[in-house]
Amino acid sequence: MQPRLRFLPISIFSVILGLSGYSIASQRVFAGQGWSAAVPAALLYLTSALYVVLAALYIMKTVRHPDAVAGEFRHPVMISFFPTLSISLLLLAVGFAEVSATVSLALWVVGAVSNLLLTLVVLSVWIRHTHFEIAHFSPAWFIPVVGNLIVPIAGVQYAAADVSWLFFAVGLVFAVVLLVIFFYRMIFHQPLHDRHLPTLFIVIAPPAVAAIAYVKLTGSFDPFARILYYLAVFFAVFLLSQVRMFARIRFYLSWWAYTFPMAALTIATFLVGKETGASFYRDAATVLWAGLSVLVAGLVARTLAAVARHEICLPDEAARGGGSPAEGSPETADEPVVDARSRRLA
C-alpha cells in the first residue's frame, strides 16, 4: 500500500484559513466585549503550530512524491488551493499584529511576496492551459483572488499605500470577473458534486474581505464599502437559506470552506459596528462569532474523527469501494460532476 503522505491534499490548508480567520474574529469580539485576550492568542499560536506541521508534511510530500504534487498542480480545481499557503501567512500576519508587530511584519512580507508569485503562476496556468473547461470551474477559483484582498489589511501599516492599493485593485477586479463566470457556470451547466457544495460559501469571502480592506485603506465606511459589505451579507443569507441542501452532504474536507468566509463576514460586521458606532452591528458580530465557534468546534471534532478512522489521505482505490473519490487524489478530488468529454485532463 502506498504511503498516505502521497495523498495529503493541498486543500488541507483550508483548515488553516478557517482557524486563522476564527482566531482573528475572536480577537475582535473579545476586545469589543472586554474579555481576556489570552484565549484568542492561544488560538493563534495553535493555528501557527498546525500550519508549521502541515507545511512540513507537504514539503516532505514534495520531496518524496513530486509526481503527486505535479498532479495536483495540473488539476483545474486543486491548483487554486496552492495560494492557501501564502494566504495562511497573511492571515496569521493580521492576527499577530495584535501580539507581535515584528512577527506580523515578517509573516506579511513573506505572505505578500509569495501570494503575488502564486497569483502570477496560477493566472499563467489559467490562460495557457490546454484542458480546462467551464465544467471544471468551482468557487475554489476565488481563492487566489481573496489572497490579494487580504494583503492591504495588515499592509497599510507595513508598506506604502500604493502597494496595498495594487493588491486591492487586482483582487477586486478579478473577483468581479470570476463572479460572472461563477453564475454562468452555476446557471447554465450541471450542478456541483456534493463534495463541492460547501465551497459555495467561498463567494462570501471576496466582498467581505474587500470591505475590510477598503475601510483599512480609506479609513471610512463610505457608500462603496457598504456595497461590498451588504453584498457579502446577501450571499450569506442566500446560502444559509439553502441549509437543507447542505445538511444532506456527508463529511468532506471541503466542509472547512464554511469557516473562513463566515469568519470574514464576522470580522467585517464587527468593523462596521466600530466605524458606525451602531451597537446592532457589534451585537450581530458577537452572534455570528458564537455560531462560528460552534461550527469550528464541530469541524475540528469531525476532522479528528476522520483522521482517527483513516478516512483522510486515502488512495483512490481504497476509497472507491465506498462510492466516493479520495480526498487527496488529484485526478478525482474536488472534481465536478461532468460528462465524459469534460473529464479530459492533460
Q: How far is residue 310's CA from residue 275's CA, in Å, rounded to a whole number?
A: 47
Over its length of 346 residues, how does the chain's per-residue pLDDT go in tens digits?
Answer: 457 888 899 999 999 999 999 999 999 999 988 888 899 999 999 999 999 999 999 999 999 999 999 999 989 889 999 999 999 999 999 999 989 999 999 999 999 999 999 999 999 998 887 778 888 888 999 998 889 999 999 999 999 999 999 999 999 999 999 999 999 998 888 888 888 899 999 999 999 999 999 999 999 999 999 999 999 999 999 999 998 898 888 888 889 999 999 999 999 999 999 999 999 999 999 999 999 999 999 999 999 998 888 877 776 533 333 333 334 333 344 444 344 333 333 3
Phi–psi pair at 189, nearest 5 degrees: -130, 175
Domain-located, residue 158: yes
Radius of gyration of the chain (CA): 19
- The cell numbers describing 156, all together, are 497599510
**Looking at the domain assignment, is residue 346 inside a domain?**
no
pTM: 0.88
17: number of Cβ within 10 Å: 29
Whether 167 maps to a domain, the answer reads yes
pLDDT at site 339: 41
End-to-end CA distance of the chain: 26
Record the cell numbers describing residue 87, joined without a space: 494566504
Between helices 205-218 and 223-240, what is the axis angle to 10°? 160
Q: What one-character DSSP code corresponds to residue 336?
A: -
* Burial class of residue 45, CB neighbours in 10 A (0-12, 13-18, 19+): middle
Q: Does any domain span residue 79?
A: yes
Provide the grid cell at 179: 463572479
Residue-level pLDDT at 284: 95
Q: What's the domain range around 81? A: 4-335
Residue 2 pLDDT? 53
Name the grid cell of 30: 473579545
In a domain, 342, yes or no: no
- Asked if residue 240 belongs to a domain, the reply is yes
User: How confident is the model at residue 332, as a pLDDT?
Assistant: 40
Task: Name the amino acid, one letter, at 42.
Answer: A
- The number of domains in the chain is 1
Q: Does residue 73 form part of some domain?
A: yes
Give one DSSP letter per residue of 105-174, joined into a string. HHHHHHHHHHHHHHHHHHHHHHHH-SS--GGG--GGGGHHHHHHHHHHHHHTTTS-HHHHHHHHHHHHHH
- Say which residue the cell 461550527 belongs to: 295
340 domain residue, yes or no: no
Burial of 305 (0-12, 13-18, 19+ CB in 10 A): exposed
Residue 88 maps to which CATH number?
1.50.10.150
- Grid cell in block for residue 297: 468546534
